[in-house]
A = this chain, B = another copy of it.
């Protein structure tokens, strides 16, 4: 699922769709409005986001409504947070080690 989530987020239009949906659910045609692309292209982007678990869609009558699935965002975020904190801890340990290491003695200048 992380493969698909990160893949989905690698596209600026798909990130813009997620961005828009952060303000609330929208129909596919509402989503399409700000983008210079066909409705079909937007539908395809939405499908990629849905497969990746980043949005859910619901069809009522003829209108398909799209909303963000916070769980999908959370999964990708959690992967990054865990690695980032591990790296930072490792860098802190390294910095502490450097601090504890006595400087090599240099011959005094005369």
Contacts and interface: CB of A to CB of B under 8 A. Distances in A.
A74 B84 contact: yes
Interface in A16-71: 18-19, 21-24, 68, 70
- Copies of this chain, complex-wide, total 2
> Taking chain A's interface residues, is the majority helix, strand, or loop, or is none over half, making it mixed?
helix
B76 A88 contact: no
Contact of A77 (B3, B10, B81, B90): B81
Contacts of A2: 9-10, 12, 15
A73 B77 contact: no
15 contacts: A2-B9, A2-B15, A3-B10, A6-B7, A7-B7, A7-B10, A10-B10, A22-B87, A22-B90, A70-B88, A73-B87, A74-B84, A77-B77, A77-B81, A77-B84
Interface of A: 2-4, 6-7, 9-12, 15, 18-19, 21-24, 68, 70, 73-74, 76-77, 79-81, 83-84, 86-88, 90-91, 94
